[in-house]
Homo-oligomer: A and B are copies of this chain.
Amino acid sequence: MITPSDFSEQYESLINRPVLAKAADFQRQERLTHVIFAQQFDRDMLNHLCSTASMIRQISRHRQGQDFLTGLLSHKRAMLYFTQASTRTFLSFMAACQILGMTCNEIRDPTTSSEFKGESPLDSMRMFSSYFDVVIMRSNMAKFAESCAYLMNELASQGRRSVPVVNAGSGADEHPTQALLDIYTIQRTFEFSSQKDNARQSRFDTLRRRYPELNKGLENKTYGFCGDVGRGRTVRSLTTLLALWPGVRFNFIYPNYDKLAPYADMLTRLEEAGVGIEHSHSLPDVINRLDMLYMTRIQHEHDTDADRRFFETFDAAQFTLYPELLSKMREYCPILHPFPRNQEIPFEIDSDPRAMYFRQARNGMWIRAALLAHLFDVDGKIGAFHQKNYGA
């Protein structure tokens, strides 16, 4: 039997270093060479990726632009190696690759690869790197993507073939591109732009009359996170990135039960970053103060018997976005959700203009395309094409 230690021990001393020390291993000058954890992104990088994503989105509206985009990486072949099922993330990456013209290959049925039993996962990884130009991987083995990136680095140092590794979710620890799409969705919302904007009047001006302290951009905002704050990987990654902006406040709204509360290490880290933090156990109590609301599902699949006893008496209504709450929310406050949802967001909310959770999916596609463009160093070409055809 192969255990994670079989592949991680080769790179154990590298993996056990602090995150920011490792980040340097996965970039060359200002360009990422592998995407393994959210901490690799700083504010400049996030702004650059968001900007590239928006250019790709705009360019892809016309046929000539689509043809330009699909020509960028039509000579590249991607492997999507998903041994842990995640259809949303899988399809989003597929679409992102296809926007740039990459040919996609996939392993997503874990039984297909049962033949690999007894083989080192790093041998499989090296096979993929023989055939393909990037490996996008999702695994339930913590540190596997990171080990693969270190294997690629070792091969590169020997002058052998090496390809970028993109972590599409590894075990409970990291899912960097989910945080990326959340940031992109928030960033777009907080541009406060509208198709009806003109020189005399803009949506932002109108909002400012009602909310005089409102500013554009991610800074100086109160971000609400509601639901299973403790066990959700997405909240962890997203708060890490949002904390890069100044004047950020987090409002964690969760049942009064240890496992669902934000973990101490995360709180310490955020406080050190200067983030203001509030705790609450009722969404209705605080919803009017939020600039953004990030809803999450209670992850019952991890429940123990004790947890299940707790949930028998638990008041789900305090963590559900009922339609009657909409009128209490700020007019511009985006509603996000990493999906899938259960009952915490009823269908009636879907048609509210603040509901962003379906747009998140499409934003994920654009920002992943931007990330791939960055990895393959064609983001400059995208910028140039955009400049030429759309100015600005």
Interface residues of A (CB under 8 A from B): 10, 63, 66-67, 70, 74-75, 77, 79, 85-88, 91-92, 94-95, 98, 103, 105, 107-109, 111-116, 118-120, 123, 126-128, 130-132, 158, 160-161, 339-342, 347, 351, 358-359, 361-362, 365
Contacts and interface: CB of A to CB of B under 8 A. Distances in A.
A112 B108 contact: yes
Nearest to A158: B351
Q: Dominant SS at the A interface?
A: helix
Contact of A105 (B91, B119, B130, B132): B91
Contacts of A158: 351
B95 A105 contact: yes
Given A91-B105, A95-B131, A340 B123 contact: yes
A70 B86 CA distance: 31
A75 B64 CA distance: 10
Contacts of A107: 87
A95 B253 CA distance: 49
B85 A130 contact: no
A75, A116, A158, A362 interface centre (most CB from chain B within 10 Å): A75
Contacts of A92: 131
Contacts of A109: 109, 111-112
Contact of A116 (B87, B95, B132, B362): B87
Given A127-B361, A131-B365, A342-B118, A75 B66 contact: yes
A236 to B, nearest CB: 21
Nearest to A365: B131
A131 B342 contact: no
B98 A77 contact: yes
Contacts of A94: 105, 131
Contacts of A74: 67, 70
A278 B113 CA distance: 37
Q: Shortest 10 CB-CB distances between A and B: which pairs? A: A66-B75, A130-B361, A119-B340, A95-B131, A130-B362, A98-B103, A85-B115, A91-B131, A127-B361, A94-B105
